[in-house]
Amino acid sequence: MNAVTEQLALRLNLGCGLNRIDGFVNVDKHGAPDVRHDLESFPWPWPDGSVSEVVLNHVLEHLGAQPDVFIGIMKELYRVCAPDALIRIAVPHPRHDHFLGDPTHVRVVTPDVLSLFSRRLNLEWQAQRAANTPLALYHGVDFEIVERKITLEKIYLDALKSGALTALEIDQALRERNNIASEIRMVLRVVKP
């Protein structure tokens, strides 16, 4: 983090539900948050570049059923965040019953989806003439994934640790079968000049 980001006190827990975090502005459209706001309604009530950290804990999969709304959410995240702000995201793995069994889950969120909002990757893909949609270039946003973690179900984690399955076999299973991993956690860094 740079000195400007460190001085910012505004940290947002977006879509907090009943899970408030001390030291954060807890935001939701339901219940009794610090700020009541529908995250699919733009603009958000924070000034440009005023936020140093955002938590979206099992929230993004509930938002943006329509692509323009999801892109609007990403644009608002970019607008309100300061340079080098961190956005901590946790979502259910899209091939797990936790995702599939909830009728309010409307959007798959994976590292591949979020990488479409990286200017660096968009420029690489453009140079390669790749078919990836360059959403960062189209919408003037820029996020880098600085951390990603997949939470495996215990049986698969144990098999990986014991050597009964290799990382390659786990990767293959994740593409072919359900209920291998329960959650994906990612941290985005906001890239601004």
End-to-end CA distance of the chain: 13
Structure tokens at 26: 């807890």
**H or E element that contains 8:** none
**Cα(81)–Cα(53) distance, rounded to whole angstroms?**
8
Residue bearing tokens 């479409």: 116
**Cα(183)–Cα(60) distance, rounded to whole angstroms?**
13
**Cα(86)–Cα(118) distance, rounded to whole angstroms?**
14
Residue-level pLDDT at 7: 53
> Tens of pLDDT along the chain (193 residues)?
444 444 557 999 999 999 999 999 999 999 999 999 999 999 999 999 999 999 999 999 999 999 999 999 999 999 999 999 999 999 999 999 999 999 999 999 999 999 999 999 999 999 999 999 999 999 999 999 999 999 999 999 999 999 999 999 999 999 999 999 999 999 999 999 8
Residue-level pLDDT at 8: 57
Q: Look up residue 63 and give its DSSP letter.
A: S
Check: CB of residue 43 under 8 Å from CB of residue 79: yes
Residue-level pLDDT at 9: 73
13-22: Cβ within 8 A, 24+ apart:
13/54, 13/55, 13/57, 14/39, 14/54, 14/55, 14/56, 14/59, 15/39, 15/56, 15/57, 15/58, 15/59, 15/62, 15/63, 16/57, 19/57, 21/55
CATH of domain 3-151+183-190: 3.40.50.150
pLDDT tens digits, 36-76:
999 999 999 999 999 999 999 999 999 999 999 999 999 99
Check: CB of residue 189 under 8 Å from CB of residue 86: yes
